[in-house]
Amino acid sequence: MSASTYTNVLGLAAAAVLLCAVVTLWRRSLGAIVRTLAVQGAALACVATVIGLHEHDVGLIVVGLLVLGAKAVVVPLLIGRVVRHDPNSRETDPLVNVPASLVAAGALTFLAFAATRSVTSLVPTTAGRLIPIGLAAMLVGFFALVTRRKAVSQIVGILLVDNGVALVAFLATAGVPLLVELGASLDVLLAVIVLRVLAIQMRSRLGSFDLDQLTELHD
Amino acid sequence: MSTISHVIGTGISSAVQVAVVAVGGPVLVGVMRKVRCRLEGRVGPPVLQPLVDIRKLFRKQRFRPDQATWIFTLAPVMLVATVVVAAAITPLVTTHPALRASSDLFVLVYLLLVGSTLLALAGLDAGTAFGGMGSSRAVTIGALAEPALLVTILALSTTAHSSNLPAIVSAILAHPESVATPQRLFALGALLIVIVAESGRLPVDNPATHLELTMVHEAMILEYAGPDLALVTVGEAMRLTLLLGIFVNLVAPWGVATSTSVSGVVVGLASVVAKVAVVGVFLAVFEVFIAKVRLFRVPELLAGAFVLALLGVVSGLVAK
Amino acid sequence: MTAGVLVVAGALLGLGGAIAGALLPKGWRVRAATALIWAACGCEAAAAIHVLAIDRPIVLRSTELLPFTGVTLVLNSLGAFFVLLVVMVAVPATLYGIGYASHGLDTRTAACVFPLFVTTLLLVPTAGSVATFMALWELMALTSLLLVLVDHSASEASRSAGTWYAVLTHVGAATILVAFLILAAHSGGQTFAAIAVHARHLASGVRALVFMLALVGFGSKAGAVPFHVWLPKAHPEAPSPVSALMSGAMVALGVYGIVLVGDDLLGGGPVWWWLVVLVLGGASALFGSLHAASSTDLKRLLAYSTTDNIGLVLLAVGAAGLYDATRHPLLAALSLVSALVLLFNHAAFKGALFLSAGSVQVATGSRDLDRLGGLLRRMPQTGALFLVAAAAISALPPLNGFIGEWLLFQSLLHGAVIGSTAADIAIPLAVAALALTAGLTVVAFVKAVGIGFLGRPRSESADEATEVPRTMRLAVGLLVAVCVVLGVAPTLIFPAVERAVKTALPGLGTRILAHGVDLQVVGLRGMLAPAALAGSLAGAVVGIMVLRRALSRQPTPRVVEAWGCGRQLQTARMQYTATSFAEPVQRVFDDVLRPVQDLDVTHVAESRYVIESVTFANTVDDAIERSLYTPVIRAVRRWGQVARRLQPGSVHRYLAYGLGALVILLVAVAVMG
Q: How many CB atoms lie within 10 A of CB A73?
A: 14
Contact B279, B195 (CB under 8 A): no
Residue C584 in contact with partner chain A when CB distance is under 8 A: no
- Residue pair C179/C230 in contact (Cβ under 8 Å)? The answer is no
> What sign does the CA torsion over A191, A192, A193, A196 have?
positive
Percent of chain C with pLDDT over 70: 96
Q: How far is CA B308 from the centre of its chain?
A: 20
Interface test with B, best of C385, C409, C427 (most B CBs within 10 A): C409
The Cα–Cα gap between C671 and C673 comes to 6
Cβ contact B319–A7 (<8 Å):
yes
* C-alpha radius of gyration, chain C, whole number: 26
In total, the C-beta contacts within 8 angstroms joining chain A to chain C are: 11
pLDDT tens-place string over residues C526-583: 788 888 899 999 999 999 999 988 888 887 888 888 877 777 677 888 888 888 899 8
Q: What is the pLDDT of residues A165-213, one digit of tens each?
A: 888 888 877 555 655 666 666 667 667 767 766 766 666 666 655 655 5
Closest residue, chain A, to C426 (C-alpha): A110
3-state helix, strand, coil in chain C (%, to 5): 75, 5, 20
Mean pLDDT over C28-40 rounds to: 91
Q: Which of A110, A111, A119 to mutate to test the interface with C (most CBs of C within 10 A)?
A: A110
Q: Which of C50, C46, C55 is nearest to C77 (CA)?
A: C55
The residue of chain A with its CA nearest to that of C421 is: A114
Q: What is the pLDDT of residue A213?
A: 55
Q: What is the pLDDT of residue C171?
A: 92
Higher-pLDDT residue of C522 and C305 is: C305
What is the rounded distance in angstroms from the CA atom of residue C501 to the CA atom of residue C263?
10
Asked if C1 and C95 count as a contact pair (C-beta separation under 8 A), the reply is no
- As a whole number of angstroms, the distance between CA B83 and CA B237 comes to 10
In this complex, do B154 and C548 lie within 8 Å of one another by their Cβ atoms? no
Q: With 60 as the cut, is the pLDDT of residue A214 above it?
A: no
User: If you average pLDDT over each of A58-62, A212-216, C646-650, which comes out highest?
Assistant: A58-62
Residue B246 CA to residue B229 CA, distance in Å, equals: 26
For residue A58, the model assigns a pLDDT of 81
Per residue of chain B (320 residues), what is the pLDDT tens digit? 467 888 888 888 889 999 999 999 999 999 999 999 999 899 989 999 999 999 999 988 888 888 889 999 999 999 999 999 999 999 988 888 887 778 889 999 999 999 999 999 999 998 888 888 999 999 999 999 999 999 999 988 887 888 888 888 888 888 887 788 888 899 999 999 999 988 888 788 887 777 777 788 888 888 898 899 999 999 999 999 999 999 999 998 888 888 878 888 899 899 999 999 999 999 999 988 888 888 888 888 999 999 999 999 888 888 76
CA distance C424 to chain A (A): 9
Q: Identify the pLDDT of residue C255.
A: 95
Q: Identify the H or E element spanning B286.
A: helix B262-288
- Chains with 3 or more CB pairs closer than 8 angstroms to A? B, C
The beta-carbon neighbor of C425 closest among A99, A100, A114 is A114
* Residue of chain C whose alpha carbon sits nearest to that of A109: C425
Q: Which pLDDT does position C152 carry in this prediction? A: 60
Please name the residue ranges forming H helices in B158-261: 165-174, 182-198, 217-220, 226-251
pLDDT at C672: 79
Q: Which of B24, B83, B78 is nearest to B54 (CA)?
A: B24
Nearest to A117 among C421, C429, C591 (CB): C421
In chain C, the residue whose alpha carbon lies closest to the alpha carbon of A115 is C421
- Min Cα–Cα distance to chain C from B65, Å: 5
Q: Domain for residue A219, yes or no?
A: no
Does residue A157 sit within a domain?
yes
CA pair distance C454, B126, nearest whole angstrom: 8
Q: How many CB atoms lie within 10 A of CB A198?
A: 14
User: ipTM score here?
Assistant: 0.94
Of the residues A102, A120, A125, the best mutation for testing chain B's interface (the one with the most B CB atoms within 10 Å of its CB) is A102
SS3 C409: helix
What distance lies between CA C24 and its chain's CA centroid?
Answer: 32
pLDDT band at C476 (very low <50, low <70, confident <90, very high): very high
Q: Is C564 on the interface with A (CB under 8 A)?
A: no
In eight-state DSSP terms, residue A70 is I
Mark C71-81 as b/e (b = at least 16 C-beta within 10 Å): bbbbbbbbbbb
Pairing of strands B63-65, C558-560: parallel
pLDDT(A217) > 60: no
Distance CA B130, CA B149 (A): 28
Whether residue A218 has pLDDT greater than 60: no
- Report whether pLDDT(C332) > 50: yes
Interstrand relation of C58-62 and C71-75 (parallel, antiparallel or unpaired): antiparallel
What local confidence, expressed as pLDDT, does residue C481 receive? 96
Is the CB of residue C421 less than 8 Å away from at least one CB of chain A?
yes
Please give the torsion angle defined by the CA atoms of residues B125, B129, B131 and B137, in that order, rounded to the nearest 10 degrees: 130
How far is residue A77's CA from residue A69's CA, in Å, rounded to a whole number? 11
Q: How many Å lie between the alpha carbon of B221 and the closest alpha carbon of chain A?
A: 29
Calpha distance C295→A127 (Å, rounded): 51
CB–CB of C425 and A117 under 8 A?
A: no
Sort out which chain B residues have CB atoms less than 8 A from C591's CB and list them. Answer: none
The CA distance from A130 to B13, in Å, is: 43
Q: Which residue range is the domain that position A204 belongs to?
A: 3-210
In a domain, A108, yes or no: yes
Note whether residue C355 is domain-resident. Answer: yes
Classified as helix, coil or strand, C320 is helix
pLDDT of residue B1: 43
Residue C478 has pLDDT above 80, yes or no: yes
Rounded to a whole number of angstroms, the distance between the first and last alpha carbons of chain B is 43
Q: Distance between CA atoms of A86 and B184, rounded to whole angstroms?
A: 39
Domain assignment present for residue C121? The answer is: no
Provide the shortest C-alpha distance from residue B213 to chain C (in Å).
14
B182, B299, B306 member nearest A15 (Cβ): B182
- Using CA coordinates, name the residue in chain C closest to B11: C536
pLDDT tens track for C444-454: 999 999 999 99
In this predicted structure, what is the pLDDT of residue C514? 64
- CA distances to B47, B208, B237 from B29, rounded to whole Å, are 8, 12, 7
Q: Torsion angle of alpha carbons A53, A59, A60, A66, nearest 10°? A: 120
Q: Residue A219's pLDDT is what? A: 43
- Total H helices, total E strands in chain B: 11, 1
pTM of the model: 0.92
Closest Cβ opposite residue B317 in set A7, A105, A113: A113
Single-letter residue type at C243: S
Q: Counting runs of H as helices and runs of E as strands, what totals does chain C give?
A: 27, 8
The alpha-carbon gap from A62 to the nearest alpha carbon of chain C, in Å, equals: 37
Number of domains forming the structure of chain C: 1
Instruction: Compute the radius of gyration of chain A from its Cα atoms.
Output: 17
Encode pLDDT of C148-196 as tens digits: 887 665 678 888 888 889 999 999 999 999 999 999 888 878 888 888 8
**Reported confidence tier of residue A71, pLDDT bands at 50, 70, 90:** confident
Q: Residue A188 falls within a domain, yes or no?
A: yes
| C-beta of residue B308 within 8 angstroms of C-beta of residue B187 | yes
Domain range enclosing C334: 275-316+330-551
- Measured between CA atoms, the residue of chain B closest to residue A99 is B300
CB A79 within 8 A of CB A156: yes
* Residue B53 near chain C (CB below 8 Å): no
Closest Cα in chain B, distance from residue A114 (Å): 10
Nearest C-alpha in C relative to B72 = C454
Residue A178 CA to residue A66 CA, distance in Å, equals 10
Give the minimum alpha-carbon distance from B185 to chain A in angstroms, rounded to a whole number: 9
Q: Are the Cβ atoms of A15 and B186 closer than 8 angstroms?
A: yes
Instruction: Judge whether residue C609 has pLDDT over 90.
Output: no
Cα dihedral A64/A67/A72/A77 (nearest 10): 150
Which candidate in C279, C421, C590 is best for mutational testing of the A interface (most A CBs within 10 A)? C421
Share of chain A above pLDDT 90, in %: 12
CB contact under 8 A, C428 and A117: no
Asked whether residue C222 is domain-assigned, the answer is no
Amino acid A89: pLDDT: 72
The answer to the question of residue C145 being in a domain is no
C77 assigned to some structural domain: no
Q: How confident is the model at residue C523 (pLDDT cuts 50, 70, 90)?
A: low
b/e sequence B155-188, b meaning 16+ C-beta within 10 Å: bbbbbbbbbbbbbbbbbbeeeeebbebbbbbbbb
Chain B residue with minimum CA distance to A125: B319
What residues are paired with C617 via a beta bridge? C598
- What is the tens place of the pLDDT at every residue in C279-324? 999 999 999 999 999 999 999 999 999 999 999 999 999 999 999 8
Give the integer Cα–Cα distance in Å for C333 and C331.
Answer: 5
Radius of gyration of chain B (CA): 19
Q: In the complex, which subunits touch C with 3 or more CB pairs below 8 angstroms?
A: A, B
Give the total number of structural domains in chain A.
1
Q: Does A87 touch chain C (CB under 8 A)?
A: no
In-domain check, residue C180: no
- What's C265's DSSP letter? I
Calpha distance B157→A113 (Å, rounded): 20
Set of chain B residues whose Cβ sits within 8 Å of the Cβ of C435: 146-151
Q: Is C535 on the interface with B (CB under 8 A)?
A: no
Please list, in sequence order, all residues whose beta carbon lies within 8 angstroms of the beta carbon of residue C662, skipping any fewer than 6 positions away.
none
